[in-house]
Homo-oligomer: A and B are copies of this chain.
């Protein structure tokens, strides 16, 4: 009845297009912090719509959830974020994106070198810079040796 009892999780899901289960999962990952009503149900602020939108955008950019949590920590905790607050963290998002683009372009240049010589030998290829992680994620060690195949 009161004007601001907050949004139920289903309503937030509708507004953002996320699944209810995903929103709960994001909470478990520390990306969003609803309060609980008398009955123990989650209630969200309107500003959380924007917060989740930001999460989705950052995901499109290839950030992991921990990385997104990190970026979101740049928002003020004590008040509703202003447009300027959002703008600031969007800028930090943009620098992430710039880095990814840079990396890919360097990989491309390296590949071009390889195509030029036709040898596909590791010392000359992109792979020889294993720290260039264009790869999304994945577990386990994948170390590289600089080994030139001899045929």
Majority secondary structure, A binding face? helix
Copies in the complex: 2
Which residues 79-130 of A have a CB within 8 angstroms of B? 80, 83-84, 86-87, 90-91, 93-94, 97-98, 100-101, 104-105, 107-108, 111-112, 114-115, 118-122, 125-127
In the complex, A113 Cα to B83 Cα: how many Å?
Answer: 14
Q: Tell me the A1-49 residues at the B interface (CB within 8 Å).
A: 14-19, 22, 46-47, 49
Given the known inter-chain contacts A87-B115, A115-B87, A120-B50, please indicate yes or no for A16 contacting B145, CB distance below 8 A. yes
Residues of B within 8 A of A97 (CB): 104, 107-108, 111
Q: Report the count of interface residues on A (CB-CB < 8 A).
A: 64
A150: chain B residues within 8 A (beta carbon): 46
Indicate whether A149 sits within 8 Å of B56 (C-beta atoms), given known contacts A115-B90, A144-B17.
Answer: no
Contact at A60–B19, with CB atoms within 8 Å?
Answer: no
> Does A77 have its Cβ within 8 Å of any Cβ on chain B?
no
The chain B residue with its CB closest to the CB of A137 is B136
- Please give 4 more A-B residue pairs, beta carbons under 8 A apart, in addition to A56-B142, A87-B118, A101-B101: A17-B143, A46-B150, A60-B135, A90-B115
Shortest Cβ-Cβ A-B pairs, 6 listed: A136-B136, A83-B118, A17-B145, A87-B118, A49-B149, A50-B149
